[in-house]
């Protein structure tokens, strides 16, 4: 309907103002640089003429519906002409823009997927090439492995023959060695009999000393005894004293005293087997003579971080990781000797110990350690 009205208005208009833009000849003769501005100008003019035609059409409809001039003057002002067509045109334009954006988004997505497919295709081609190379390498390795296996089988066959011959030679040598060892075993059995006699004699001597001391047999071998000795009188106050007695082929013995936590100086005593009992008694008497001091030191081991050096009569007390105290024990301690503080080192620096003294007059080791561990001055 609107098209028919536009055509009727065009027929009644001046042809010079509504001459259509015939671009066919220009498209055939002109170049792209001339056509683009020309077409844009034609489009602008057509839109302007279309708006004017819409206004004229609305005016004609309004005038056709009037019966008199008074009705035109009394009627309210009509709505803006061309609103209906403009609204439809804007709706179509918005729909067109929406579809254009949708198509552009689909094109972008399609382009990304095409690039992904191309990348995957290149990756697949690369993997296929690598697979082909690996396949050729595997075939080559199989051929090499087959040749190596053949050579290895031949080499193993030769080695097996050599091994059989070597085993035969070894068996002959073992037979010869066995006969020699058999003779040596007979000699060793004779020696064992002698050692057994010596061991029985030593056990008899140990039984003699058992009246004054208690012992526990730790281990026995053909040439060595390991014992733990503890005087009966000091059974509850002293730790066991560990000694070992090694017998030689010439009826000699070597008695070794181990310090452990007992507190004696490690030493060795040698002599004839008949003197082993006297040597044990001497060791135990020396151990008992220091029994009160050693009993106190052994008790302090469970309470403080100490280290006892029996050769120097020196007790080292580690109060902290950086504080070390040295105490000297005089001969005859505790009945005839005293315990004195020699030095205190903190962070490697000697401290002044003039004012460090427990409240008692002649403190023993236990009182010294209790005082040093609780003293705030060090």
With a cut of 50, say whether residue 235 has pLDDT above it: no
Rounded CA gap, 378 and 353, in Å? 9
Rounded CA gap, 221 and 246, in Å? 9
Instruction: Note whether 221 and 274 are within 8 A (CB).
Output: no
Instruction: Note whether 263 and 297 are within 8 A (CB).
Output: yes
Of the candidate ranges 45-54, 162-171, 204-213, 292-301, the one whose mean pLDDT is the lowest: 204-213
With a cut of 50, say whether residue 236 has pLDDT above it: no
Q: What angle do CA 262, 208, 223 make, to 5 degrees?
A: 70
Phi/psi of residue 334, each to 5°? -100, -5
With a cut of 90, say whether residue 59 has pLDDT above it: no
How many other CB atoms sit within 10 Å of the CB of residue 202?
17
The reported pLDDT for the residue numbered 257 is 79
The reported pLDDT for the residue numbered 89 is 72
Mean pLDDT of 13-22: 46
The reported pLDDT for the residue numbered 264 is 61
The reported pLDDT for the residue numbered 238 is 65
Q: What is the pLDDT of residues 109-119, one digit of tens each?
A: 999 999 999 99
Rounded CA gap, 73 and 112, in Å? 65
Rounded CA gap, 173 and 179, in Å? 10
Mean pLDDT of 275-283: 77
Q: What angle do CA 216, 206, 240 make, to 5 degrees?
A: 35
The reported pLDDT for the residue numbered 21 is 44
Q: What is the pLDDT of residues 169-182, one digit of tens each?
A: 888 888 888 888 88
Which pTM value belongs to this model?
A: 0.36
Rounded CA gap, 266 and 268, in Å? 7
| Phi-psi region at 369: left, alpha or beta (left = phi > 0; alpha = psi -120 to 50) | alpha
Q: What is the pLDDT of residues 292-312, one digit of tens each?
A: 788 888 888 888 999 888 888
pLDDT top residue among 232 and 294: 294
Non-local CB neighbours of 229 within 8 Å, separated by 6+ positions: 213, 214, 215, 240, 241, 242, 243, 280, 283, 284, 287
With a cut of 70, say whether residue 28 has pLDDT above it: no
Rounded CA gap, 45 and 287, in Å? 131
pLDDT band of 210, cuts 50, 70, 90: low
Domain boundaries, the chain: 291-378
Rounded CA gap, 8 and 60, in Å? 12
Query: Checking DSSP bridges between strand 306-309 and strand 314-318, what pairing results, if any?
Result: antiparallel
Q: What are residue 253's DSSP bridge partners?
A: 247, 271
The reported pLDDT for the residue numbered 77 is 58
| pLDDT more than 70, % of the chain | 76
Mean pLDDT of 70-89: 64
| Half-sphere exposure at residue 88, Cβ-oriented, CA atoms within 13 angstroms | 5
How many other CB atoms sit within 10 Å of the CB of residue 280?
23
């Amino acid at each position: 309907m609107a098209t028919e009205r536009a055509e009727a208005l065009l027929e009644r208009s001046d042809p010079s103002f509504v001459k259509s833009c015939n671009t066919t000849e220009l498209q055939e003769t002109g170049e792209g640089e001339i056509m683009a501005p020309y077409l844009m100008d034609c489009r602008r003019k057509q839109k302007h003429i279309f708006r004017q035609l819409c206004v004229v059409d609305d005016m004609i409809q309004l005038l056709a519906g009037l019966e008199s001039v008074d009705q035109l003057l009394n009627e309210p002002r009509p709505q803006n002409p061309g609103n209906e067509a403009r609204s439809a045109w804007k709706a179509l334009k918005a729909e067109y823009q929406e579809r254009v954006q949708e198509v552009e988004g689909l094109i972008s997505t399609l382009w990304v997927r095409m690039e992904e497919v191309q990348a995957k295709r290149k990756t697949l081609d690369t993997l296929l090439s690598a697979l082909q190379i690996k396949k050729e390498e595997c075939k080559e390795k199989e051929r090499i492995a087959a040749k190596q296996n053949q050579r290895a089988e031949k080499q193993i066959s030769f080695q097996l023959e050599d091994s059989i011959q070597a085993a035969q030679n070894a068996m002959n040598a073992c037979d010869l060695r066995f006969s020699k060892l058999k003779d040596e075993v007979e000699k060793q059995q004779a020696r064992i009999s002698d050692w057994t006699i010596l061991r029985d004699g030593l056990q008899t001597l140990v039984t003699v000393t058992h009246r004054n001391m208690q012992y526990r047999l730790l281990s026995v071998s053909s040439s060595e005894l390991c014992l733990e000795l503890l005087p009966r009188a000091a059974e509850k106050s002293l730790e066991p004293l560990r000694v070992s007695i090694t017998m030689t082929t010439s009826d000699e013995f070597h008695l070794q005293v181990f310090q452990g936590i007992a507190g004696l100086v490690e030493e060795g005593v040698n002599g004839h087997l008949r003197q082993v009992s006297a040597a044990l008694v001497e060791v135990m008497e020396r151990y008992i003579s220091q029994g009160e001091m050693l009993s106190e030191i052994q008790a302090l081991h469970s309470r403080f971080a100490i280290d006892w050096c029996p050769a120097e009569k020196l007790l080292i007390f580690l109060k902290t990781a950086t504080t070390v105290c040295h105490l000297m024990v005089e001969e005859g301690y505790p009945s005839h000797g005293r315990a004195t503080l020699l030095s205190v080192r903190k962070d490697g620096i000697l401290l002044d110990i003039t004012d460090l003294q427990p409240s008692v007059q002649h403190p023993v080791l236990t009182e010294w350690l209790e005082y040093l561990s609780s003293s705030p001055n060090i």
